Amino acid sequence: MAEPARFRRRHMGVVWSFAILVLLPILVTATYLWGVAQDQYASTVAFTVRREDNASTGLVGGLAQLAGGGGMSESDILYEFIQSQEIVSAIDERVGLGAIYSTHWPGDPVFTLWPDARIEELHDYWGRMVRISYDQSTRLIALRVLAFTPEDAQRIAGEIVAESQRMINDLNNQAREDVMRYANADLDQALARLKDAREALSLFRTRTRIVDPAADIQGRMGVLNNLQQQLAEALIENDLILGSTQENDPRRNQAARRIQVIRDRIAAERQTFASAEGAGGVDENYPDLIAEFERLTVDLQFAEESYRTALAAVDLARANASRQSLYLAPYIRPTLPQTAEFPQRLVLTGLVSIFLLLIWAIGTLVFYSIRDRR
């Protein structure tokens, strides 16, 4: 039978190590937290970014849908901005963050900022004092701002809201300028295209001396139909003359001559359908002229439609630029705390105790495992 375990001299090392590595740090931590650490007050503020949706109908409504935004959400941009060095520098210039957070230096060196801290150090300290939570599904942003007095905590929270509103306004103004610039550029391009189309059609009419080939061809068809009718009448008249006159009758030659002249005229008119010479004064292929005129007409119609669309886009951009379409909507204003909730002394003491106890236990087990192997 094994003898009951008894306290031996070698066990004193374990006891002293527990006292030095666990109990003493816990005592020092508790003494510092309750005796030295300064109270911190937390101000809460929450907001979201809202975009104004304006229902429109017709062409302007369609353009509004086509001009819908894409890419990163404004809430995501604001979330990153609140954690950036830019907002820290801007608020520090207005309220003096360095002076506020270094008030209790060196009395509380753990939780306060040292004086004359650089902007990078102030930015790192900002991450400790400003806790931000962001729900990507609802786009809601909530902040907990810590300071050593309730008024400072509320003031810093208000400055964060003001700086966030300024950033949103800058985004809104930039979006307005971009929309107006792009709309005006499209309008200038559409206007230039319309001028080119009209100039090309005018040059065509000047060169061919034909205002509308469709109307011109209708006129030629009328002449050809009239000649065909005259030819039919002349043939009938010739048949009547041949049946009622002698061979040497001069009316037979006149009738035959009239028929030949009409046929020559018909042949000449048909020839003009393949050549514009005679009607427009230029020697060009008439079907090619018609194809060119139709192409120029289609270009002109497209340019006019593009110009009307660009005008509507400019009107839409101007209407959107006249109102605030993007704004910050706080649903919790900066609160004025009455109770110091930080530092969380019990929580910190408990975490330090668990952490030290685990380190001591693991170290002890490793030490005896190594000693037993020798």
Q: At what angle do helices 286-321 and 213-244 cross, to 10 degrees?
A: 150
Tell me which of 166-175, 237-246, 291-300, 343-352 is least confident.
237-246
Sign of CA dihedral 61, 67, 72, 73: negative
Tell me which of 89-93, 198-202, 228-232 is least confident.
228-232
Higher pLDDT, 221 or 207: 207
Tell me which of 32-36, 58-62, 104-108 is least confident.
58-62
What pLDDT was estimated at residue 7? 58
Joined tokens for residue 173: 């103004």
pLDDT at 158 over 70: yes
Joined tokens for residue 28: 């020092």
Band of residue 216 on the pLDDT scale cut at 50, 70, 90: low
Percent of the chain at pLDDT above 90? 34
What pLDDT was estimated at residue 273? 60
What pLDDT was estimated at residue 257? 85
Band of residue 347 on the pLDDT scale cut at 50, 70, 90: very high
Higher pLDDT, 268 or 351: 351
Higher pLDDT, 16 or 7: 16
Contact yes or no for 317/183 (Cβ under 8 A): yes
Instruction: Please state, rounded to an integer, the average pLDDT across all residues of the chain.
Output: 82
pTM over 0.95: no
Task: Report the distance separating Cα 215 and Cα 290, nearest Å.
Answer: 11
pLDDT at 55 over 80: no
**CB-neighbour burial class of residue 188 (10 A; exposed 0-12, middle 13-18, buried 19+):** exposed
Looking at residues 208-231, what average pLDDT do you find?
A: 74
Per-range mean pLDDT, top range of 199-213, 234-248, 285-299, 300-314: 300-314
Distances (CA, A) of 89 to 43, 141, 157: 20, 21, 15
DSSP code of residue 281: S
Per-range mean pLDDT, top range of 80-84, 104-108, 264-268, 277-281: 80-84
pLDDT at 3 over 70: no
Write the DSSP string, 190-229.
HHHHHHHHHHHHHHHHHHH--S-HHHHHHHHHHHHHHHHH
Higher pLDDT, 168 or 53: 168
Tell me which of 119-123, 293-297, 316-320, 341-345 is least confident.
316-320
What pLDDT was estimated at residue 44? 95
Distances (CA, A) of 308 to 114, 186, 315: 64, 11, 11
Complete edge-to-edge strand list for the sheet that includes strand 326-332: 130-135, 140-147, 41-51, 326-332
Strands (E), the chain: 41-51, 130-135, 140-147, 326-332
What pLDDT was estimated at residue 292? 84
Looking at residues 22-35, what average pLDDT do you find?
A: 92
